[in-house]
Structure 1
């Protein structure tokens, strides 16, 4: 009997140790917070603190917005990326926002929510150890649109927001983003003549933050030419923009589990890591 108890205790200790090692490697979920209540809809975000978190320090922060055509999607789309960057010493944030299928809302409402989330993080930066000078906005597809819109679009602010707080990010990491909402671009049939209010491509100005743009050359929604047009406009105003095109890859190619060996997930995360290291947000080489 005593021998059996010893074996059980040993297995528990080994399991606990393994869990702690995994937690140290992946980063730890720490907070789920309400950042806005609008029309009785409660919008939340999740914060993942870096490994070896020190409450006396402030950390570079990366904020992820999920994709889904502004129609649907899940806050957990970028959970793996969030955990990775937490393991590299960043605070990672996953943001929920209103979508058509659940809330009956428009892309314009989604932009307002994304800006509200960015403002919430800045207002509460001291409480959650966020370095307001090193905030990265990131996302895929429509989420990539929101990430860019928080920083490039001047209007579309919620009336309840504190407009003295800028929602702008200091850098952008965009995964096949919906970046052109003009005629012929994605979403134009829903946005129409208001595209100048919401289209990142049409609102690039001097001071636009350094950006990395990932895209597959078989993407049915975003032409490769759009990525290079975005890069050209960024460089015209003196801003850095890196475009990386992945051969034979379709929309959403970067998601973990999309491919058998997750090659594109790993490659895009690695390139984003190198990009952020070059900006001084990370130290050392990628661990993926």
Structure 2
């Protein structure tokens, strides 16, 4: 019995040392940013080491994918930790989805705009710079991030609209960018409203700098959609870069934390290119 206790203590000590050497993909804090009739919505916050409220760090807000029907903030935990380790506050946001809350893509867009606005309103508490807010996400979450930067209106009733819900940059992973018959989501937004929250239909001068990652073999969100969006953006003088991953399909960017069978080769590639994008914008904390 005595030997068993000793072995248990040694195991726990060993485990604690191992754990200290591993990266934690759990958020450092969760904060409620919105209360809706269906649920309360939280931000899963990842902080740089020794982060203080007086800091004015850049912040990136991620929205998970799942066709506006499901999904989890965990999808972007690995990306969030990557950026937090490099001095950027990173947040993976919850939003309402159809399977849990019987909501529509229009509700999702309002939630995304609420998240960006809340982060900006609470900049001093979060230790972030309200003028260096990056919206990001994948697939339907990439659509939400794009909508915060492109779609005017569709704001949540009762919020402080004097504070902008428009980010200062967008980082998009295989985003839904056209909700008409040419893209993805027509059945979910409806024929009568097919262009209302379709970023391709709302490109204009003055949209924030954008970087897009997309697989050329994506069978869910056609590669043509992001090619067209990029062309439209650049034609009116906006800065938009598309980085194509040849032969890759939908969700190619997920790291090994969220997709256990994935290696981190492509994950690391997208993260390195994202950091280059941030540096060009001076969205790096010094």
Same fold (TM over 0.5): yes
Residue 190 of structure 1 corresponds to 188
**In the alignment, which of 275, 279, 282 is matched to residue 280 of structure 1?**
282
Output one character per residue of 1:84-118: Cα deviation in whole Å (capped at 9) or x when no partner: 00001000001000100000000000001111111
Moved more, 72-81 or 268-277: 268-277
Contact 1:27 1:49 (C-alpha < 8 Å) held by counterparts = no
**In the alignment, which of 177, 180, 192 is matched to residue 178 of structure 2?**
180
Once residues 218 and 48 of structure 2 are traced to their aligned partners in structure 1, the CA distance between those partners, rounded to angstroms, is 33
**In the alignment, which of 158, 161, 168 is matched to residue 160 of structure 1?**
158
**In the alignment, which of 31, 34, 52 is matched to residue 33 of structure 1?**
31
SS in 2 for 1:281: coil
Once residues 58 and 274 of structure 2 are traced to their aligned partners in structure 1, the CA distance between those partners, rounded to angstroms, is 14
Q: What is the correspondence of 1:245-260 to structure 2 with a 5 Å cutoff?
A: 245-257=244-256, 258=259, 260=262
Contact 2:177 2:199 (C-alpha < 8 Å) held by counterparts = yes
Output one character per residue of 1:248-288: Cα deviation in whole Å (capped at 9) or x when no partner: 2110011113454222112111211111122111379xxxx
Residue 204 of structure 2 corresponds to 205
Contact 1:217 1:245 (C-alpha < 8 Å) held by counterparts = yes
Contact 2:53 2:125 (C-alpha < 8 Å) held by counterparts = no
Once residues 283 and 58 of structure 1 are traced to their aligned partners in structure 2, the CA distance between those partners, rounded to angstroms, is 8
Moved more, 90-99 or 201-210: 201-210
Residue 150 of structure 1 corresponds to 148
The 1:175/1:161 distance shift into structure 2, 3 A limit, reads: same
Once residues 10 and 53 of structure 1 are traced to their aligned partners in structure 2, the CA distance between those partners, rounded to angstroms, is 33
Q: Which runs of 5+ in 1 are unaligned?
A: none
Contact 1:27 1:86 (C-alpha < 8 Å) held by counterparts = no
Contact 2:26 2:77 (C-alpha < 8 Å) held by counterparts = no
What is the Cα deviation at residue 64 of structure 1? 0.3
Q: Work out which structure has the larger RCO, using CA pairs closer than 8 Å and 6 or more positions apart in sequence.
A: 2
Residue 70 of structure 1 corresponds to 68
Output one character per residue of 1:206-225: Cα deviation in whole Å (capped at 9) or x when no partner: 11111111111111122222
SS in 1 for 2:196: helix
Once residues 189 and 9 of structure 1 are traced to their aligned partners in structure 2, the CA distance between those partners, rounded to angstroms, is 58
Moved more, 13-22 or 116-125: 13-22
What is the Cα deviation at residue 18 of structure 1? 5.2
Q: Which runs of 5+ in 2 are unaligned?
A: none
Once residues 262 and 230 of structure 2 are traced to their aligned partners in structure 1, the CA distance between those partners, rounded to angstroms, is 31
Q: Does 1:227 align with 2:234?
A: no
Once residues 280 and 7 of structure 2 are traced to their aligned partners in structure 1, the CA distance between those partners, rounded to angstroms, is 49
Contact 1:27 1:87 (C-alpha < 8 Å) held by counterparts = no
Residue 79 of structure 1 corresponds to 77
What is the Cα deviation at residue 190 of structure 1? 2.1
Output one character per residue of 1:10-60: Cα deviation in whole Å (capped at 9) or x when no partner: 98777656544546xx68733211111111411111111112313321110
Contact 2:183 2:222 (C-alpha < 8 Å) held by counterparts = no
